[in-house]
Structure 1
Amino acid sequence: MSGEEILVCAVQLGENFCLYFAGLECDAFCKEKILHRVLRNVNSQLLVVRPDLNMAAFEDVTDQEMKSGNGMHFNIHYYKTTTPSAGMPVAFSVQVEDKSYYMCCEKECGKMIVRFREGEVPKEIPGESNVIFFKKTFTSCSSRAFKFEYSLEQGMFLAFEEEGSLRKLILKKLSREDEVDETTKISF
């Protein structure tokens, strides 16, 4: 047992002599704030969501396309948590035309796939969720670049993979958390 002191105050004695305590929080994610940003990869390409093609990819975007912002301007939803050591919990959503989509991960044919589903990011998430990623600094000397670890599978990070002329958004397994892999580097 550590020398750390924990102050616990009883609130009331309930039925069957159950003791209830104040100030204790359950493991849950509660939405705290939202930032509006474009997401860029190491090549300064913007992440663009194309729900009609069921994919997201980093692309070279013209100023005119960026002004329209269709599928490019992300809402980064920050959540409060009782376990801050894992990183800052975030979820992503984006507007495409007049619809809102949220990012999630799903297992398909034994492989984890990044998907964008129509709907809103929940305000509160009572436990584990396939929409939560832990935001971590990419390296200690890079304050504006991050990597995002999938909350349900340690060591799996958002990344891009070249597929023909596309740089598709994927989940990528890193052998070590401190591994520097440029494909996982995302900046705002």
Structure 2
Amino acid sequence: MGLLGLDLTSWGLVVTFILLLLYFVGSRGHNFFSKRNVPYLRPLPILGNMGALVFRRKSFGELLESLYIEFKRHKIGGMFRFNQPIYVLCDPETIKQITVKDFDHFIDRSLPFPVDSEPLFMKSLIGLKGDKWKNMRSTLSPAFTSSKMKNMFLLVDECGHQLSQYLHDVLKKEGSFIMISMIKGFIKTTA
């Protein structure tokens, strides 16, 4: 007599059943991209394509880079964040279409981190949802016309030249400098 009154064979069946159940639940929806003829990375059950991130073999940036390399011949590809299908855009024109021309159709996006972890980010257009997003977009849209963006570029470009000259002068005078404080100063003057 084994544990809980089950013999070894019964335990083997129970464990096999649980593993099969985990596999099927963990693989549910993994045919999302194949049904749509979209190239995709073959996912692992439960983890999807996040195994390298979960086990810290890759950073998020390295994962994005490997996805781009995998799909760069295609306009669009697919991956799985655990069981959730995620489209990967590689074509600049498709990215422009979605982020500029069709941006108002992408109101409620999922975020890769908890909502309350980044309070400042959650007040940006990417972090807001629903009516808050619509209100903020209608407030900000007039500030980002193409003529205003061109004028803004000239200001940022001028700040960049001033920073470059300043760094050149500091390097000549002192021989080295602390880059982090320079970057913070540049961001403060251009943001």
Instruction: Return the TM-score normalized by structure 2.
Output: 0.23
Higher relative contact order (CA 8 A, sep 6+): 1
More helix by share: 2
TM-score by length of 1: 0.23
Query: Which of the pair has more CA radius of gyration?
Result: 2
